[in-house]
């Protein structure tokens, strides 16, 4: 008997700008994360939780043993009345990639969780079992229906316009370090069944220095159903120039479901940030959309930071655009979007 797919049941992967019930984060408990920057990053995460709670409910995976200390820090930072703590310890903070992918029913009245496998971006890091189990735990904690998949898929690898189209990269979804040797056809069938999508719009490569191999949330994002914001390298000397130029050409050839060209908006990269001569995958594309706001990573580069904020203000004119310093956070390879997972709201 053929199993009924989530698409056949009428579920879809909503766009991030649709109304949200909450946004999820994971509190870091490992002392080896960020090295000498660990304490400073924790203070920044406290500020991030309190900031996000200005706009909606914030839910944080945090073991009981660390909750009192976190609450004390948040109360000192501001109003944390909309921050809810959940007693779960993770391996790392990047819950965009191992957290649940929330799907909405066709009429918007129900949410279900698509629980994909997580293998730390192709088994690059051994500590991953707690992260991989987080989606199932959250489904139980929220008493939400959940469907488990054997396929490896990270949330940061996909970007939905809520209308059946998905942005992603060949360098991630076709990488044998996730699901062995696969084809675009196979990937599309898996994601169609499990996410309710109709089409994947493929970019090729990612940023130099990206541990994920090339997640889409550093490269290109839908800012409306028929609009794409994309990272651009302006100078041939930039090590990302060739890959981003190829991606730009592909974006210009993409078509909506109605056959129209996408509105497209370029976003510059920040100036190169390196650690011991190795580049970090810093990008303004790693922003987080909330109810009424967009939180944007900044990197201590006033001219480019301000330009990024201005561009995003044009893309999201009805939301408050708030810069958030990620100069320390980026040293572990990600920024605000990587750290978060949005939970869509249901229609009552």
pLDDT for 228-254, tens place per residue?
999 999 889 999 999 999 999 999 999
Point out the residues that are catalytic: 338
For the question of whether the overall pTM of this predicted structure is more than 0.95, the answer is yes
pLDDT for 95-126, tens place per residue?
999 999 999 999 999 999 999 999 999 999 99
Give the tokens for residue 216.
């889409």
Q: Whose CA is closest to 291, among 14, 12, 23? A: 23
pLDDT for 181-220, tens place per residue?
999 999 999 999 999 999 999 999 999 999 999 999 999 9
The CATH class of 20-344 is alpha beta
Domain segments of the chain as ranges: 20-344
3-state secondary structure of 125: coil
- Looking at the predicted structure, is the pLDDT value of residue 7 above 50? yes
What are the DSSP calls for 174-227, one per residue? T-HHHHSS--HHHHHHHHHHHH--SEEEEE----TT-TTSS-GGGTEEEEETTE
Output the pLDDT for position 57. Answer: 98
- Looking at the predicted structure, is the pLDDT value of residue 348 above 80? no
- Looking at the predicted structure, is the pLDDT value of residue 150 above 60? yes
Q: Average pLDDT of 50-65?
A: 98
Output the pLDDT for position 276. Answer: 85
Output the pLDDT for position 3. Answer: 67
Output the pLDDT for position 2. Answer: 44
């Amino acid at each position: 008997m053929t199993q009924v797919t989530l698409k056949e049941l009428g579920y879809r992967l909503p766009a991030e700008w649709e109304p949200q019930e909450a946004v999820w984060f994971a509190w870091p408990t490992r002392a080896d994360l960020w090295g000498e920057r660990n304490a400073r990053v924790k203070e920044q995460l406290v500020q991030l939780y309190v900031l996000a709670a200005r706009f909606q409910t914030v839910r944080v995976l945090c073991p009981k043993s660390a909750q009192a200390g976190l609450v004390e820090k948040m109360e000192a930072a501001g109003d944390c009345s909309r921050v809810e703590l959940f007693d779960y310890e993770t391996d790392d903070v990047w819950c965009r990639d191992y957290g649940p992918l929330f799907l909405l029913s066709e009429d918007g009245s129900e949410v279900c969780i698509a629980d994909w496998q997580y293998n730390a971006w192709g088994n690059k890091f051994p500590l991953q079992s707690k992260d991989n189990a987080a989606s199932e735990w959250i489904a139980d904690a929220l008493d939400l229906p959940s469907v488990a998949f054997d396929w490896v898929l990270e949330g940061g690898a996909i970007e939905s316009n809520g209308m059946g189209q998905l942005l992603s990269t060949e360098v991630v979804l076709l990488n044998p370090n996730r699901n062995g040797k696969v084809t675009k056809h196979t990937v599309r069938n898996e994601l169609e069944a499990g996410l309710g999508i109709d089409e994947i719009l493929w970019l090729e490569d990612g940023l130099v220095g990206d541990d994920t191999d090339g997640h889409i949330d550093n490269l290109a994002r839908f800012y409306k159903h028929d609009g794409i914001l994309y990272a651009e390298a302006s100078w041939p000397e930039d090590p990302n120039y060739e890959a981003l130029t190829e991606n730009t050409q592909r974006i210009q050839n993409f078509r909506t479901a109605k056959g129209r060209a996408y509105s497209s908006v370029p976003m510059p990269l920040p100036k190169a940030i390196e650690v011991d001569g190795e580049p970090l995958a810093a990008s303004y594309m790693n922003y987080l959309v909330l109810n009424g706001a967009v939180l944007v990573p900044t990197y201590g580069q006033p001219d480019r930071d301000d330009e990024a904020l201005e561009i995003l203000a044009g893309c999201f004119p009805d939301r408050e655009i708030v810069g958030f310093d990620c100069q320390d956070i980026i040293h572990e390879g990600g920024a605000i979007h990587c750290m978060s997972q949005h939970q869509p709201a249901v229609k009552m």
